[in-house]
Amino acid sequence: MNSLHRSLFAPGIAGRAVLVWLVCWSFAGISAFAFTANDANTIFNSYAKAFYSLNGTNGYFKSDQAGGMADFWEQAEEIECVIDAYEWKSNADYKVMTVNLLNGFEASHGTNWSANEFNDDCLWACIAFARGYVIAGEPRFRDIARWNFDMVFARAWDTRLGGGLYWKTDNRSKNACVNGPGGIAAYLLSQICKDDNYLTKAGSIFDWERSVLFNPDTGAVSDGIGINGRVHSWASTYNQGTFIGLANFLGKTNDAMLAANYTRSQLARSGILPQYGIAGNNSGFNAIFFRWMARFMEDRGLQTTYQSWLQDNANAAWNVRRTTDGLSWCQWQEPTPAVTNLHSWDCIASLEALQVVPPTQAAPADSTTPAIKIMRNP
């Protein structure tokens, strides 16, 4: 991420008012109701029409509806959302789109990302390429992910503060935003490269993050720790989500549940995930939470505990869309403005929510849903 974490939470509707809003409120000709599987396809097509660009076999997501290109880490995360859509929906078009997007990322940023001072940026791209390899079987994607992970780990991990990865190459702080993705990337590489050294690294990263940034009493994941030993305790859905994802992969179910419960009770006090503002670094944080939370729920059979809550959020995202182009922004307690030139990053959380959360009127809660073909510990 190319800016310091900032808490941009906009106070929303308190208590149960959001639930009333979901049931009763209507605006811009859209009545609030539960989304369907067809709606998930509709919002994907709307997003792709607005932001996806293809030149030959090289694809990319635009920065906003007017053009440009989404920056390094946002592009990587938007690619991951397409991968999520493919894994959960099994739409072959999404697989082709993933390959084109990874080709386009390579064309724009090369195969050596060491010039990027943000270690978390590089690790997000590693995850995208590793997951792209899983679904496409292209060895180049695996090799790019592996080389860049090794590069980042060599420059970012040391024993200061007991271990952990530095956020940036200036080595001033070690943050959850890099250690969560770093552990996930290491775990994926352990599977696709059949190399237990990466599994060891994933475990070491998790152990450090848990011991330094995780509160086992509340489930909160602190933002980071400076080299002076001072912990910045702000918690975000981004960091909660990646902690849950890594804990799930490593079989740390109790820790993942603590982090999930904290997010639901403290970050989503109205029932709906926080609003982080638009046109900013944090706009897509909820997409990251949805990715790893939905997978954790599915892997561990926790639909009874979490599915209705996630569905409430997905329904909120669907019901704030605008009728002109079907886009839905990240401010789920307010209708998407009719005339705003939206950024792709502002709309990614709504897209993600409808891809990974089972529709309310779909199959029973305990039915099997396609998921990432990566083994996780029992």
* CATH code, domain carrying 295: 1.50.10.20
Residue 330 falls within a domain, yes or no? yes
Confidence at residue 340, expressed as pLDDT on a 0 to 100 scale:
86
Q: Specify the pLDDT at position 354.
A: 98
Q: Would you state the structure tokens that stand for residue 259, as one six-digit string?
A: 């982090």
CA separation for the pair 166, 175 (Å, rounded): 7
223 contacts 235 by C-beta, under 8 angstroms: yes
- Tokens for 5, please give them: 């974490």
The Cα 163–Cα 207 span in angstroms is 9
Q: Which helix (DSSP H) or strand (DSSP E) does residue 54 occupy? A: strand 52-55
* pTM: predicted TM-score of the whole model, two decimal places: 0.90
Whether 225 is in a domain gets the answer yes
- Report pLDDT for 33: 82
Q: Over the stretch 29-42, which tens digit does the pLDDT of each residue have?
A: 444 689 999 999 99
Whether 363 is covered by a domain: the verdict is no
Percent of all residues in the chain with a pLDDT value above 90, rounded to a whole number: 85
Asked if 247 contacts 179 with a C-beta cutoff of 8 angstroms, the reply is no
pLDDT at 23 over 50: no
Per residue in 238-264, pLDDT (tens digit) is 999 999 999 999 999 999 999 999 999
Residue 174, beta-bridge partner list? 166, 225
Whether residue 308 is contained in a domain is answered as yes
- Could you tell me which of 167, 154, 78, 159 has the C-alpha nearest to residue 118? 167
pLDDT band for 28, please (50, 70, 90 cuts): very low
Domain that holds residue 341: 17-356
Sign of CA dihedral 21, 25, 28, 29: positive
Q: Is residue 180 part of a domain?
A: yes
User: What is the number of domains present in the chain?
Assistant: 1
Q: How far apart are CA 156 and CA 136, in angstroms?
A: 29
In this structure, is residue 85 part of a structural domain? yes
Average pLDDT of the chain is 90
Half-sphere CA count of 323, side-chain side, radius 13 A: 6
CB 148 within 8 A of CB 174: no
247 is a domain residue:
yes
Query: What are the pLDDT digits (tens) for 349-358?
Result: 999 999 999 9
The verdict on residue 6 lying in a domain is: no
